[in-house]
Structure 1
């Protein structure tokens, strides 16, 4: 009998064979899919950038902070998020346990990936066709926070797993938790548990209660849903004294703040809920006050967290019940010192960026480091002094002719800078009044025409360095047009006749400043100069260059030279003696320049950044002022003594206050568009500028800037012992022009022989004044206008004429 298998119909296949074939196909598919999957995974691994988990601290985004001289926080530099690193040792155990319980209960058991959780999440995601449950462990979330992104994709998930294993191999579990708790988002722009604790509860993370820890731990799952508070409009029935106020920034599409909103803001200001600068921003439609209301949804999430902690024996039943029943109080933390504008810190930020770029950072890197590098920036700001300065300049009683410009900014405006001349520290600075917010016009840094305030630092400082003395004699009278083409005029047409440099300074003589400037290069012993009313042997170019060199040496950076602009520049007497410069000098640089006089002739660049520390405590910058001797101690003292006269009995009498020695100089420009007082005591140097932003005429002169200076400095010196400027050795006294004058040893007054010409010159002065009055009717009080620069180069001819030509239509001083 034949084999039965030969009796089977052809073309028929056993069922078992079909199953085997199917299994083989499935296996083949699995192998193929596995191969493809492995290739994809390996490709992802290969493309993933290399990481060094040990340097996780450098990967954490951390907000930089600015501190005052006493170590108190001035401002937290929040751009888009607020973060502050805290070591895990300072975190409450309850907070760490709460995060582990709700986020990754097998955290201490797995090596980066929880496969049990992955399987459950995979089933859920297949059913729902979504990525709702990613099964991310704390380690994988850390990888996402530091190295990948928040996009939902398979590639990102694979990369997170890859990095998670590397992190687990490198870091300890506490280090992983520390990194995660400092990088997790907690809503409202806060990153990390320290920032969250300060934002929502206004306390350090170490002080959080169990209930607060559980509440924060619940936020990270869905930050905007479980945020501790939401904002609502403030209503009429609200008790303004007992609400938590949040100031929301407005954008260009926002509705303007209503009168009701502004009235609410005024009431909040009176209650101390917002400061005056916040109120200004509300009025200027930059901020809107709203109230923070506790989010009940976060309470439901908190209960779940507490339940998880109880189930995992991380808290007791009693702890659980107590935390459930604890009332959560939202207390919005402040990120800046109240009562202080941003002008000072704006300069700090600008200088910090410059420091970082000088250290090798690109502009983008420096900006990122400034806002997200966790820098600790220490400044010399004196908080009390800054607030005093802010309060005084904000008082409307010091300004007349007040109006608002087309942008709603109040005019006139003001700027003031206070420097400790002994250390070169900028102690306080304001760049405006009744304005607030970010990216403001900082008038402390804006050059304005200095008027006569330039004379001590351009003309007289340079002249003293070139042989001039306080007793040198000059004719304070209108200069003859036939000789000079045009004469600068003194304020009020007041002239003193033959007098000394001291009196020229005291009365802010424009004619005198012009003549002293010409004589910087002159041989004062030459007969042709001693026997002539006006020097005939001098070199204009040399005198002008020396004044420019002096100004540059004391920090003035806005001088326009011929190579900058061959036609309109500051290489002439009018700009350098009367202050009609092309751009002018900023209040910051004016205050700095005068420290060369107040600090015994020594100058160093004033600074607003004392020290910068990295987020790990490394000192990456420290200010080390480099002093240079601009003039001798003796010259500095005599110049200071002359400026004391300005305050005692000259144009600066409004600056005098009892209890301190005061020296300084007024300055008023053409048509009273800028008024100045720059002065100093043995303690501090301070500049005050007042003017309209658009250069309109003011309704007052420099007597008002001197008065404002007095109000500022009197308050700042209130608790300070009286000091006098100390006279150094190397000075003697001698009678000149009827008074005892100070001289540096080895020097003698120049041109004293001309004092005998007093009587005849007075007659000449009267005639000249009468002759020139009609010609000068259209001239401003002390406008040199187009005084032509002398082209004479040490001419010995008695008939040589000095012609001065200004760089442009000049704006000059009025005092």
Structure 2
């Protein structure tokens, strides 16, 4: 320091500059090394053939590498050469996304600086500086994760692309690749999706609308797809069926504001004249919207459909992109998907469902409406629900052979002004739209067949809803002369162009099944409905998408919660009348009440009371914690589960005993949820996510997703899971599920029955596989009228096919299990008295939890048969015998239980015999004495007569 001070000013300045140069060199070197390191990870792509990089066919293989299906991509995007793309389309995209596209080298330094200044001024990110070339390489080669590394790689690739390709080649690839919302990739797909036109037929206004979507395919499409059940408000412009679910197309005002921004930018850059600009603004863009019927990729079966859905979800997570973007990558990215689906098991399962109609018809009757169903009809044969509301119209009441909506004179009127009024009972009044009630017919085999009918597709501002009718304005009708006509019988016929409908009926009830490999958690086979022969449609998968009330299928989850909280299979509860909020609830599905039952026997008897009692003691939060571990409740994001919490709906929630103890949920669970729950129990608490995808390789053969190495988490005590498995096993051998098993194989499982009579479930497992089956109508308002044997036999048939020739047929008992003979009423160790009255059995326990106290409630008493009281000293030996009684502690007081006694109730005598008292004894003694004397006299007389003779 002293030496530095001694230097003159000139040398000090030299030393300072030298130090700054060293620091600059250090930082430049550091940055260079960092950038080189980042660039080492840049994907090695053929930049001379960019179009093919996003047009490669992906393939699905089984786990052994056998090709199952090639996923074609043509239906998701139509490639359009740049020569066929109109100038106003190209100008619109370049103006709003990259105005110096033809001038920069792949990255735009002026654009980056301008964006930086604008963001600083706004105090937030309001625009980016990415060029069209950068966007292209990001979408083709990189992920959407916003990191410095990705931006460096993106810039490097963009410069490389710009050097090797002409600008029009880059623009062609971009315009055929860009995500434009609603599953549309590229300008031709967008033109068809939003206007049902080819891209070269779009005008300036329509082109600007499509270009505006690029900023955010989620925020700026001209309409949004809303599930039918989730629609609340907004102008409806059409419908679309996606994955078997009807979606409403709702106008999006943001898109039209964005369109104006695009047009203004085009005008300011001189791409269009003032006249063109004004004409484009005046154009009625909303009326020109004409949503095309999206033709989604053909699915060969429920199984490959499910594989693709799972693969898209995994790619979405891996690349941090939207589901639409991930699906696009799947169909165009040349991926190899290795699936767990076993072709042979899938084939066997589908064969069962091919003949399901015959199986249904031979095992059910049509006593209450149709085979396996129960419903009520009104005077014109429309199906009613329990509240008298119409669920389905009889098909020909309001529709003809061609599915024209036919309304008789009694249900419509046209006033002098030309306004049309229609009775509102033709529409689903629970809806916020003119949702036409669906229709049905009964076929020759007495099966119910339903047809889905959409909503009346007219703008919200052209009709009004009154108490008994809706009225459509004459102004709308004058402009839409094709909306209706009047036939010769004065019926009003509404054109099919104004609503959607299904022309092919759906058989009811439906069914689904899923088979999991216990150890891996992989799906081996899946069927989502009866349409197993359909190979050309992306059909609705009820196994994965249909959410239904599980009913008693949830009870083993209650019992697992109890085991996890210190109870045992031998814990005893009382199946007797209980009162909730002053009302006696619940009742059982069987007559009366069973009385004292262990946990195992409560499960086998399907008691409704005892699971309620367990949750009353433990608290609802314990059960909710269990459901969180199973993934049924998503504590991080409630919108992603089907459980309705009090915070979501305080009037109709699942946070109550009816839902949590008895499974009568507002929504419920899917079949795959049920399979995952029971598979977790089967594996001793392993909560690995169910999947049909083992691994995914990219187009270069690099494994990017590997589910086989995913770690599993033990969420439950393995011994408790084994104990519950054993209870579910005896449920199959002697309980309510008797008939689902076979003699040679251990099967554990449970029937699902709910209070709505809307669903039949059976979910069970062997040591190798978990199988979940479901039967029910697509509308849960239609009740089933079928014996539980229908679902038990279906499960048994599937189980026999999949479990044949297994090396392991028995559940393996852990070393820490002990067995004890217990009294089934007290839960204590059984005595000879318990054994004598067959009131005991051998129960299994986790070592250290077994009972140590012997039953002292079974008592032996000497009873007088004449009075049924305790024998007194006066009771003769021929009238007395020892009897064994169970003395409840505390005593059962029927008056506190509505005067109802449980089935196992025993009266234990406390009073002594009042028939054989002292007076009786003395009289009887005197009688015996007299009889004895008389006998002696008789004997003497007899001897005297003998001597005389």
Question: Shorter chain as normaliser: what TM range?
Answer: 0.5 to 0.7
Contact 2:894/2:900 (<8 A) preserved: no
Structure 1 residue 388 corresponds to structure 2 residue 464: no
> Counterpart of 1:354?
313
> Counterpart of 2:790?
704
Contact 2:53/2:333 (<8 A) preserved: no
Q: How far apart are the structure 1 equivalents of 2:762 and 2:512?
A: 11
Structure 1 residue 371 corresponds to structure 2 residue 473: no
Matched position secondary structure for 2:631 = coil
Structure 1 residue 503 corresponds to structure 2 residue 607: no
Q: How far apart are the structure 1 equivalents of 2:746 and 2:543?
A: 25
Contact 1:560/1:571 (<8 A) preserved: yes
Compared with structure 1, are the counterparts of its residues 430 and 505 closer, same or farther at alpha carbon in structure 2 (3 Å cutoff)?
Answer: same
Q: How far apart are the structure 1 equivalents of 2:856 and 2:655?
A: 30
Indicate the larger mover: 722-731 or 63-72: 63-72
Compared with structure 1, are the counterparts of its residues 754 and 668 closer, same or farther at alpha carbon in structure 2 (3 Å cutoff)?
Answer: farther
Structure 1 residue 548 corresponds to structure 2 residue 624: yes
Q: Which protein has greater RCO, CA pairs closer than 8 Å, 6+ apart?
A: 1
> Counterpart of 1:642?
727
> Counterpart of 1:560?
644
**Cα distance per residue 1:429-477 (max 9 Å; x no partner):** 11101353433221112111101011112x1111100001000111122
Structure 1 residue 409 corresponds to structure 2 residue 511: no
Matched position secondary structure for 2:326 = helix
Alignment of 1:76-91 (within 5 A): 76-80=70-74
- Please state how far the C-alpha of 1:371 moved relative to its aligned partner: 1.2
Matched position secondary structure for 1:405 = strand
**Cα distance per residue 1:513-563 (max 9 Å; x no partner):** 11122222xxxxxxxxxxxxxxxxxxxxxx211111111211224221122
Compared with structure 1, are the counterparts of its residues 630 and 371 closer, same or farther at alpha carbon in structure 2 (3 Å cutoff)?
Answer: same
Structure 1 residue 398 corresponds to structure 2 residue 483: no
Compared with structure 1, are the counterparts of its residues 52 and 615 closer, same or farther at alpha carbon in structure 2 (3 Å cutoff)?
Answer: closer
- Please state how far the C-alpha of 1:79 moved relative to its aligned partner: 4.3
Q: How far apart are the structure 1 equivalents of 2:582 and 2:846?
A: 33
> Counterpart of 1:428?
525
Compared with structure 1, are the counterparts of its residues 355 and 762 closer, same or farther at alpha carbon in structure 2 (3 Å cutoff)?
Answer: same
> Counterpart of 1:460?
559
Matched position secondary structure for 1:628 = coil
Compared with structure 1, are the counterparts of its residues 52 and 425 closer, same or farther at alpha carbon in structure 2 (3 Å cutoff)?
Answer: closer
Compared with structure 1, are the counterparts of its residues 758 and 628 closer, same or farther at alpha carbon in structure 2 (3 Å cutoff)?
Answer: farther
Q: How far apart are the structure 2 equivalents of 1:75 and 1:170?
A: 35
Q: How far apart are the structure 2 equivalents of 1:764 and 1:152?
A: 88
> Counterpart of 1:99?
none
Q: How far apart are the structure 1 equivalents of 2:324 and 2:614?
A: 49
> Counterpart of 1:48?
none
Structure 1 residue 610 corresponds to structure 2 residue 610: no
> Counterpart of 1:577?
661
Structure 1 residue 512 corresponds to structure 2 residue 610: yes
Alignment of 1:476-495 (within 5 A): 476-479=575-578, 481=579, 485-495=583-593
Q: How far apart are the structure 1 equivalents of 2:653 and 2:606?
A: 24
> Counterpart of 2:755?
670
Matched position secondary structure for 1:489 = coil
Compared with structure 1, are the counterparts of its residues 571 and 348 closer, same or farther at alpha carbon in structure 2 (3 Å cutoff)?
Answer: same
- Please state how far the C-alpha of 1:640 moved relative to its aligned partner: 0.6
Q: How far apart are the structure 2 equivalents of 1:759 and 1:483?
A: 30
Structure 1 residue 723 corresponds to structure 2 residue 809: yes
Q: How far apart are the structure 2 equivalents of 1:544 and 1:605?
A: 25
Contact 1:65/1:375 (<8 A) preserved: yes
> Counterpart of 1:69?
63
Q: How far apart are the structure 1 equivalents of 2:894 and 2:308?
A: 57
Provide TM-score, normalisation by structure 2. Answer: 0.46
- Please state how far the C-alpha of 1:615 moved relative to its aligned partner: 1.6
Contact 1:344/1:430 (<8 A) preserved: yes
Alignment of 1:121-200 (within 5 A): 148=82
> Counterpart of 1:440?
539
**Cα distance per residue 1:99-146 (max 9 Å; x no partner):** xxxxxxxxxxxxxxxxxxxxxxxxxxxxxxxxxxxxxxxxxxxxx989
Matched position secondary structure for 2:693 = coil
> Counterpart of 1:746?
848
Output the aligned Cα RMSD.
3.9
Q: How far apart are the structure 2 equivalents of 1:78 and 1:747?
A: 59
> Counterpart of 2:390?
none
**Cα distance per residue 1:160-191 (max 9 Å; x no partner):** xxxxxx99x979xxxxxxx9xxxxxxxxxxxx
Q: How far apart are the structure 1 equivalents of 2:61 and 2:729?
A: 36
How many residue pairs get aligned? The number is 471
> Counterpart of 2:742?
657
Compared with structure 1, are the counterparts of its residues 566 and 498 closer, same or farther at alpha carbon in structure 2 (3 Å cutoff)?
Answer: same
Provide TM-score, normalisation by structure 1. Answer: 0.53
Indicate the larger mover: 712-721 or 617-626: 617-626
Unaligned residue ranges in structure 2 (runs of 5+): 1-44, 91-101, 103-159, 166-172, 174-296, 365-370, 372-446, 453-504, 633-640, 824-839, 859-884, 902-949
Structure 1 residue 621 corresponds to structure 2 residue 705: yes
Q: How far apart are the structure 2 equivalents of 1:751 and 1:568?
A: 45
Compared with structure 1, are the counterparts of its residues 709 and 751 closer, same or farther at alpha carbon in structure 2 (3 Å cutoff)?
Answer: farther
Q: How far apart are the structure 2 equivalents of 1:761 and 1:509?
A: 21
**Cα distance per residue 1:486-532 (max 9 Å; x no partner):** 22111121532212111001111111111122222xxxxxxxxxxxx
